[in-house]
Structure 1
Amino acid sequence: MKKSLIAISIAAAVAAPMANAAPKVYGKLNLSVESYKKDFENPVTKDEEFTRSVSNASRFGVKGEDELTADLSAVYGIEWEVAADGEDASGIAGSSKLDLTQRNRFLGIKSQKLGTVKLGKYDTYTKLAQGEIDLFNDYQGDMKFIIAGENRINNVVGYESPKLLDAITINVQLQTQDSVTPANGNSASVVYNNEENGIYAALAFDNNITGATALSGTRESDNIRLVGSYKIQDLTLNAIYGTSEQSSVAAGGNKNKEASWQLGAAYKLGDEVLKLQYGEAKADNSAATTQKHTQLSVGVDHNFTSKTKAFAWYTTQKEDKLAVNADYTLTALAAGVEHKF
């Protein structure tokens, strides 16, 4: 009898931490030194050229999952971006006013059978539909300069289905108004991720989501995004196509639609990963202030371990404006280090 009680006590002690696991602290520091140059077509406008140190979305956070019943668990996460180079979001050297800025944060209930419901502030499902195809994410070559819909939004309720047929997930996100003026926004995606065969595909859309575009600044937009990726041995090929238009305009008004695409390739060669990415955004409106934006990036990562890498990249961007002599060409060359924890 005593042996049975001891065995039960040991089992309970082991099971308790599993049911209520300790929160996990995680993050990464990513810093680079860059040579930056911006050449303006207009001879009157002074060109920009300087070196800079950049914190590339360095961050830390806390996340966890605590068991509630045999099927249900509470899930949570909160994350901040940290100014690892000593500058805040305003770019003022030495300032620490905005040393920490908000990233994703949520609280939810997860059912193993039915899926997860989350409340908080986090990336739209259109943004998340990109998967890992952006080879220069968080750098000057980030696809946010080409593809509209890279948004993280406040006041949302989201649903994420369990994996269907071992590969498909369905995600729906609703944004509350929180005031009289904006319309309710929503974002949704269908994702197919077959890791065994190296195939990733996603279709996503936004409706009435206020956020960044590639050519038209910040506005309330309807976005559509189609994503595809194929991995064969050490080679990965990526493609994305997106459209964006203003959600609501007066009768006969122009929605300032823009269409964008991007292609990329990555090749793993030992501890190195060679990367190439090119994209283009083009305005549908012939009277739009910015008519076209193109972007080319090449780079290499050297992986010391799964957590630490050194990297170097070169990006060139060209923006074509409607106004005469308003075009510019931007180039940046960088080298840096990333460490995850």
Structure 2
Amino acid sequence: MHKQRLLVVSALLAGATAPLQADDFNWDFYGKLDLQALYADADLLRYADKGWQIEAPFSRLGIKADQALTDDLKLIAVYEWQVNGLDDSNKGHRLGSRNTYIGIASKTYGELIFGKNDSKFKKSEGKIDLFNETLADMAQLTPGQDRLENIVSYQSPKLGLWQWSATYQTGASDETAGGYDWTLSYGDAAFKQAPYYFAYARANELNNISADRLLAHALLSESSLGTLSGGLMWQHSEHQTKPLRGNAWLAELQLKRDAIAYKLQYMQDHSRTRHSEEGNSWSVGADYSLSEDLTAYLLATRLDLQTQHDSAAALGVRWVF
């Protein structure tokens, strides 16, 4: 075992110290600009205040770079900033860091990174959350959707349609550290390699949450009406320092017809880890693709807790570049 470790370290050092060519270095700017007119009835919903407002939800700018070390190994780095939100809860820190990490990537052995990034438990959702990064996001009710600092993450190469990944949060963090997660998936969340995506994910004391997640997302039919897809997700969550636990369910349908995507999503959560009461939500919306990178959208959502409720509607334009 000791000799094997020496061989691995020697191979990495040899790759890192090999002569680097200027044309082996690549970098690029990327980002998302989302401008949204929003109205909320009350103050229950995260990412929004009561009344009318202009928001820039999860807008961001980043730079990514890679440097080839060998034919099959490269150094990768990402630095990203985001608009935290224009609501009152973020008035002291409108801007903040987002994904910030460095690592190595290999087509043969996978990707290993260290820094601040989404947990693999969060990424296990694939594209099942139709209202991701809006006030109708599944994170309104369900925990585990965390971006954590000082984590070590690994993602295997795809073995056919199978893929395995894991996260460990080191003790070098001012967050609750020391937890881990892992995910096993089959299929393709983007429906390019396969018309389905299945995943099981387990989080163990990661940011004070232990949870199990099981989901299925698939193309259901293609007809003259358009392309219909749907998904189901179940999650059991337990808080590690409070007596909070319970199950969550998410169900969604999306119909894509020409440039328009119609969306319907229902969610319930009984864990009380996001709100002090059990709750459920209904969300409806439509996206209109103006171009490959530019989308206009509208959405409406209602959050019902046991003794309180809130509803909101938004109209926006999203540019991804």
TM over 0.5: yes
Paired with 1:163 and 1:148, the residues of 2 have a C-alpha distance of 27
1:290 aligned counterpart, secondary structure: coil
**Structure 2 gap segments, 5+ residues each:** 1-19
Residue in 2 that maps onto 1:275: 263
Deviation digits for residues 143-165 of structure 1 (CA, Å, limit 9, x no counterpart) = 00222200011111111111112
- 1:260 lines up with 2:248 in the alignment: yes
The aligned runs of 1:83-102 (5 Å cut-off) are 87=86, 90-92=89-91, 98-102=93-97
Residue in 2 that maps onto 1:70: 71
The aligned runs of 1:171-320 (5 Å cut-off) are 171-178=165-172, 182=176, 184-194=178-188, 195-210=192-207, 220-231=208-219, 232-233=221-222, 234-247=227-240, 255-283=243-271, 290-320=276-306
- 1:153 lines up with 2:153 in the alignment: no
Shift of 1:197: 3.3
How many residues of Structure 1 are paired with residues of Structure 2 in the alignment?
A: 290
The TM-score with structure 2 as length reference comes to 0.83
Deviation digits for residues 76-98 of structure 1 (CA, Å, limit 9, x no counterpart) = 11111126x8x377344xxxx53
- Structure 1 pair 182–196 and aligned structure 2 pair: CA distance change class (3 A): closer
1:144 aligned counterpart, secondary structure: helix
Residue in 2 that maps onto 1:111: 106
Identity %: 27
Higher alpha-carbon Rg: 1
Letter in 2 for 1:157: V
- Structure 1 pair 181–26 and aligned structure 2 pair: CA distance change class (3 A): closer
- Structure 1 pair 179–330 and aligned structure 2 pair: CA distance change class (3 A): closer
In 2, are the aligned partners of 1:207 and 1:247 still within 8 Å (CA)? Answer: no
The aligned runs of 1:124-163 (5 Å cut-off) are 124-163=119-158
Shift of 1:289: 8.2
Shift of 1:75: 1.1
Shift of 1:122: 0.5
Which of 308, 311, 318 lines up with 1:338 in the alignment?
Answer: 318
Over 3 Å off, 4+ runs: 15-18, 87-92, 179-183, 194-197, 288-291
- Structure 1 pair 140–202 and aligned structure 2 pair: CA distance change class (3 A): same
Letter in 1 for 2:67: D
- 1:20 lines up with 2:10 in the alignment: no
Deviation digits for residues 220-273 of structure 1 (CA, Å, limit 9, x no counterpart) = 111111121001431110111111112367xxxxx4212101101111111110
Paired with 2:231 and 2:82, the residues of 1 have a C-alpha distance of 27
Paired with 1:32 and 1:181, the residues of 2 have a C-alpha distance of 31
The TM-score with structure 1 as length reference comes to 0.78
Paired with 1:38 and 1:182, the residues of 2 have a C-alpha distance of 31
- Structure 1 pair 158–181 and aligned structure 2 pair: CA distance change class (3 A): closer
Paired with 1:263 and 1:289, the residues of 2 have a C-alpha distance of 20
In 2, are the aligned partners of 1:221 and 1:247 still within 8 Å (CA)? Answer: yes
Note the aligned Cα RMSD (angstroms): 2.6
Residue in 2 that maps onto 1:36: 40
In 2, are the aligned partners of 1:60 and 1:82 still within 8 Å (CA)? Answer: no
In 1, are the aligned partners of 2:120 and 2:183 still within 8 Å (CA)? Answer: yes
